[in-house]
Structure 1
Amino acid sequence: MLVILAGVYGLIAGLAAPRAVDFATAGSSSAQSPARRGQGYGLGVGGLLCGVCASTAYQVGWRPELVLWLASAWLLAVLACVDLAVRRLPDLITLPLAALVVAGLALASQLSGDGGSFGAAVLGGGLLAGGYFLLFLAVPDGIGFGDVKTALTTGAIAG
């Protein structure tokens, strides 16, 4: 039942992604609105998120982190769509997402006795963000600072 609920959440969240992308890219002259790409855009993101959320629920089960992973999956999907539309990762999404993941992992570590450790998550986020920062300094035209901020989130999730 949990897997089905997570899959339905992913589908509905994916259908909402085009509006979120339009909101995040408002004012950008280079943005191509997802609404102009056709109705299949939201369905495609919804189908992808349906699979991601269902498989995440299958692997994680009933744990406090599941809520965080499902919310993060949607925000990361929106972030990927924004990146495709305008070739940048806006602070409007990257910074709140990093704060959400770190705060959510701190809370989840207090609620559950098993699973990963909060220290490992912070270390993973710091190491990946540090590596991306070094790449940003070495090749500033090849990687943007939005990638560095997103590395903090993905490193914490992986840690």
Structure 2
Amino acid sequence: MTTLQPLLPLLTGASALLGLLVGSFLNVVVHRVPAGASVVSPPSACPACGHAIRRRDNVPVLSWLLLRGRCRDCSAPISARYPLVELATAVLFGVAAVLAVTATSDRASQSTAAQVVLLVALLWAMGMSVALTLIDTDTHTLPNGVVYPSAVVLAVLLALVSALDGDWGALGRAAIGAAVLGIAYLALALAVPGGMGLGDVKLAVVLGLVLAYLGWGPLAVGAFGAFVVGGTVALALLVSGRARWRGGLPFGPSMLVGAWLGIAFGDGLWTGYLRVLGVA
């Protein structure tokens, strides 16, 4: 097996650079998808004066700095959120690359092509995570326009990894994980009306697919981690007086953070847990 480990610095840097570009696009997605608008047309324009944004003013982070956070035509302020999202996406794409290479380096018989496709799948999952976290925070929704395409793309990419690797067991495990996590969230949504939305249920299916493909450990830790993160955030907001007990906090961001904790630490934590139980 040829591992991508020696290429880790290059892949991390390239993924971070890609993240800058994707982050710029995600700003458009976060703004337009909840409104039901196209993400490709019309071209981006200043909301204050309506002037189309020039290409030279659309370079991630750099353009905002050169313009000093203001529109070139009308001097209206441009939110610092735009470059922050671009920078955050760059960092998170670099993290996703490290996690992808780490995950594949521990798997015997995985081909280089399969490792690259899995890297692409995790980068897509990270882009989805950034977009849905921002949208759910802003609007308390998880739009089908992001969730459905992500489900299809990730399913196809993971199936391709299995085809390149001959590891169809992982794909079967992914299907089981998607079903189990989706059914669990559906049961919660039905048992506690208003506690979970159908958007959470749909996202659970997508996350279950990815987590279970990587292993039962990532699935278990990712699923449990969502409630740990959600509970911690809710408690912090309640203590600080920024939320009420029935304030309707969005749960999607907690699900996504929990999933990435599962991807990063799931195998190790799950193995340690089984050893404590004396079954590993």
Go from structure 1 to structure 2 and tell me whether the alpha carbon gap of 1:7 and 1:74 turns closer, same or farther (over 3 Å shift): same
Residues 53 and 70 of structure 1 are in contact (CA less than 8 Å); yes or no, is this contact kept in structure 2? yes
1:126 to 179, 196, 211: 179
Deviation string 1:5-32 (CA, Å, 9 cap, x unpaired) is 122222332232211101212269xxxx
Gaps in structure 1 of 5+ consecutive residues: none
Match of 2:21 in 1: 12
Matches within 5 A, 1:1-159: 1-26=10-35, 36=79, 38-60=81-103, 62=112, 63=115, 64-113=117-166, 117-159=170-212
Deviation string 1:88-119 (CA, Å, 9 cap, x unpaired) is 11111111111222222112210124697100
Write out the 4+ residue segments of structure 1 that deviate beyond 3 Å after TM superposition. 35-41, 113-116
Q: Distance in 1 between matches of 2:168 and 2:11?
A: 19
Go from structure 1 to structure 2 and tell me whether the alpha carbon gap of 1:110 and 1:38 turns closer, same or farther (over 3 Å shift): closer
Deviation string 1:56-107 (CA, Å, 9 cap, x unpaired) is 3442455121111111210121011110110011111111111222222112
Counterpart amino acid of 1:8?
A: L
Go from structure 1 to structure 2 and tell me whether the alpha carbon gap of 1:107 and 1:27 turns closer, same or farther (over 3 Å shift): closer
Q: CA deviation at 1:36?
A: 4.6
Go from structure 1 to structure 2 and tell me whether the alpha carbon gap of 1:116 and 1:13 turns closer, same or farther (over 3 Å shift): farther
Which is higher, the Rg of structure 1 or of structure 2? 2
Counterpart amino acid of 1:107?
A: L
Identity %: 31
**What RMSD over aligned residues (CA atoms) do the two structures have, in Å?**
2.5
Counterpart amino acid of 1:96?
A: P
Residues 93 and 123 of structure 2 are in contact (CA less than 8 Å); yes or no, is this contact kept in structure 1? no
Residues 89 and 127 of structure 2 are in contact (CA less than 8 Å); yes or no, is this contact kept in structure 1? no
| 91-100 or 143-152: bigger deviation | 91-100
* TM-score using structure 2 length: 0.49
Q: CA deviation at 1:54?
A: 3.3
Counterpart amino acid of 1:153?
A: V
Identify the structure with the greater helix proportion: 1
